[in-house]
Every structure is written in C-alpha cells, then in structure tokens.
Amino acid sequence: MKKTFFLIIIGYIFSYQMILHYTKNAWLAVILPAIIFIPLIPKIKIKFNKDVIKLGILALFMEFFLIEPSLVFKKIVFHFYIIPFLTSVVYSIITAFIFILILMAIKETKIKSFLLRGLLFGSSVLLYYYPYSALINTKTIFSFAVFNIIFIFFLGITIIFIYNKSGYNFLATLLFILIFAIFASFPIIIEISKYYYLIWQMITLSLIIFLTDLMIKNSFEFLNIFRSNKINFKKLLKNSKYIIIFLVVITILSIAISPGITEHSYFVIGDPTGSMYPVIKPGSVLVVGPINTKSIKVGDIIVFNAPWENGTLFAHQVIKICHIGGHEYFRTKGVANPAPDPKPVPPYDVKGRVLFAIPYLGYALIYSKLVLAVVFVGIAGILIYPGKRGSWKNTNMRW
C-alpha cells in the first residue's frame, strides 16, 4: 500500500510531462493526470483553526520579503491585466490542490527521512513548473541549477516542514501553497543580481522555517524559550543571536559585493579572468571606487557593464577616449588581450575605477555566493533539527 502512494507521485509527474510535451497544453497536462489522485480524496480532512490564519499570514510575509530588495532599490517591473490575472488565479488554485495531494501521497509513503521527503516534493515542484527539456539542456543547465533548482529544493523542504509542523493540516498548508502559487504566476520582473536574489531567497525561506517553528504548536529546537504561554524574548534573543548576526552580516555582504544592485560608491568584485595579466592576476579581488567619467584618462582601469556581453562587468584599461555623434566614449582593452574590446563603452555603463587589486582573494568572492546558498540550507537544518522535548518524535520522522 505504501508503494502505491509513491507510484501515484511518479505516475502523475510522468503523465504531466508527457501530455505537456505532446499537446503543449498546460491546462490539459495539469488536470487530466489528476485522476490518479482519486485514492487520496477520502483522506482529505478539513480542519479550520488558528494555524490556517497563521500560515496565511506567513505566506504573505514570505512573498513580501521575497520582493522587498527590488522594492527598496526600485528594480521591479509589474504588469497587470485583469483577464490574465484571473486565469492565473484559477490555474494557481489547481496547482495548489495538486501540490497538497502530492504532499499527502508523500506522507503515506515509507519515506521517514525529513530531508528525503523535502527533496521528493521539491523534485515534484520542479518537474511541475519546468518541462524536462529545460532540465536536460546542456547549455543552460548550470545556470538553471544555480538559480532555480537550489531554490525549489529548499522551498520543498520548507513546505514539508510546514505541513509536518501544522499536524498535516490540509487547509493551512493548501492556503500557504496557494498564496505562493498566485505570486509565482504574477508577471513580476525583478531586475536585481541573480546571485544576490538567490541568497535573499535562502534568507527568506530560513526565516519562514524559523517563524513557523515559533508560531505553530510546540517548537522543535526552540521549545525551551517558552515559559507557560508566554515567550521569553530575552532567552529567544540569546539563543538566536548568532543566527541573526550571521543573516544580517551575509545580507550586508551580499549587497556590498553586488554592484549591479545599488549605487554604492565603493564595492569589491572578484576577477576570474587573466585578461589584465600581469597588472591584475587571475582570481584577484578588485577594490573599486567612485569616478567622475569626465575625469577618466587613458591608462585608467575602469569597471563597466560591457555592451557586447549583455552588461557583464569587465575591468579593462582605457586606451583611447573618442567622440561618436557628439558623445564621449571610452575604448578599452585587456592588457593581455591581443585586440581592443569590440565596442566603445558609454559613460553611463562605467561603474567605477579600480583602486587596487589583491591577488587570489577574489576566488572567495567568485565562488562564495553559491557556497552561501548551501550554507543557508545548513541553517535551515539547524533550525529544524529535533530537540529533546519537541514534537518531532511524535511524528516518527528523522533526518
């Protein structure tokens, strides 16, 4: 019987992908395979309690927190049309219902590991939102893995945690997923660094796990901060201070090392290339300062968004200042490159001047953002690791 529920999950995802591939009709692909969930319908139990309201508020908080950086830095574009919006809401309702049925099927399987349940649900969400052709595209798989798969897997773990923590409350978890699905369907374009946004997503999901652990019933790791029905905020702050400090520091650092997000006067970047060797060694960290473009002269090493590389940051030397159509442009070249850069750089693409470079330390920045994402997964593990007195043991679940 337990194997049956696992096969239900596999069967739905496989049917969904095949129908989507051959018909290109998302509605048909979502609804038709849902027949396979019929054995789960009798197990649905609607229970309205305070957890429903709490998780609804948490879901709204999560969505606001996810778009907060783009609101602060005014890097968001939103288009609203009534008919597409209503269509998206209906589609999101169906999506949320499918996801909660998948959660119910996972609960009925023999899988007791909390992490494995989260990864299974995350995989289901991933294969629901993306056709398998996107997952096997060798040209985009690395970028896709970094910016999509990590977030979705961690989201899966977060929702599994919420489902378990709420006592498998169907309505509460459905509402949480529905709010997420509606916001995910909105035509919102967030124009900030993808690396920074990935870090921010990890911070947000870690915070949601932490708040869920505090708000819903007995706490796993933080049960000892409660006395009677009141929260001992002094003890809460003491027990959580290192996590809070870590999150604040990482947030500040992630902003500081992402020059495309804000208009900081000074910032640092890692240079992975050897185009400026021997002046700048590969893997150096570059300390970049503000510059008045009118004061740029030949020989300066400037940091700019390259017009020929879709705005990718370059640090090259100015070899000539020219005028095109009455406007000033800069011709640049990497010292080690045999030829100048293919296009002139306009003043508005210049981000600053390289003040100095520190060899080899740049590798810490070049690879740090991906490592930080993994670190936040570890933070979530710390937050949800079972305490001695928590309700974890009552659910017969383990890592």
Task: Indicate the pTM of the whole model.
Answer: 0.57
Q: Which residue has the higher pLDDT, 373 or 393?
A: 373
Looking at residue 70, what is its pLDDT?
A: 67
Query: How confident is the prediction for the chain on average, in pLDDT?
Result: 76
Range 183-212 average pLDDT: 77
Worst-scoring range by mean pLDDT, 64-68, 234-238, 270-274? Answer: 234-238
Q: Which residue has the higher pLDDT, 254 or 365?
A: 365
Looking at residue 74, what is its pLDDT?
A: 55
Residue 21 has pLDDT above 60, yes or no: yes
Q: Which residue has the higher pLDDT, 391 or 278?
A: 278
Rounded CA separation 300/31 (Å): 61
Domain 284-358 has CATH 1.10.3470: no
State the SS3 of the chain. CHHHHHHHHHHHHHHHHHHHHHHCCHHHHHHHHHHHHHHHHHHCCCCCCHHHHHHHHHHHHHHHHHHHHHHHCCCEEECCCHHHHHHHHHHHHHHHHHHHHHHHHHHHCCCCEHHHHHHHHHHHHHHHHCCHHHHCCCCCHHHHHHHHHHHHHHHHHHHHHHHHHCCCCHHHHHHHHHHHHHHHHCCEEECCCHHHHHHHHHHHHHHHHHHHHHHCCCCCCCHHHEECCEECHHHHHHHHHHHHHHHHHHHHHHHHCCCCCCCCCCEEEEECCCCCCCCCCCCEEEEEECCCHHHCCCCCEEEEECHHHCCCEEEEEEEEEEEECCEEEEEEECCCCCCCCCCCECHHHEEEEEEEEECCCHHHHHCHHHHHHHHHHHHHHHHHCCCCCCCCHHHCCEC
Residue 227 has pLDDT above 50, yes or no: no
The confidence band for 273, taking pLDDT boundaries of 50, 70 and 90, is confident
Range 52-56 average pLDDT: 89
Most confident of 288-297, 336-345, 380-389: 336-345
Looking at residue 11, what is its pLDDT?
A: 87
Residue 65 has pLDDT above 60, yes or no: yes
Domain extents in the chain: 2-258+368-395, 284-358
Q: Which residue has the higher pLDDT, 302 or 205?
A: 302
Please identify which residue in the block is written with the tokens 């056709």: 131
Range 123-144 average pLDDT: 69
Residue 56 has pLDDT above 70, yes or no: yes
Residue 118 has pLDDT above 70, yes or no: yes
Range 222-227 average pLDDT: 41
Range 100-120 average pLDDT: 83
Looking at residue 146, what is its pLDDT?
A: 62
Looking at residue 130, what is its pLDDT?
A: 77
Residue 37 has pLDDT above 50, yes or no: yes
Nearest residue to 102 via CA among 234, 183, 215, 13: 13
Range 369-390 average pLDDT: 50
Q: What does the pLDDT look like over 143-194, one tens digit per residue?
A: 666 667 778 888 888 898 888 888 889 999 999 999 988 888 776 666 666 7
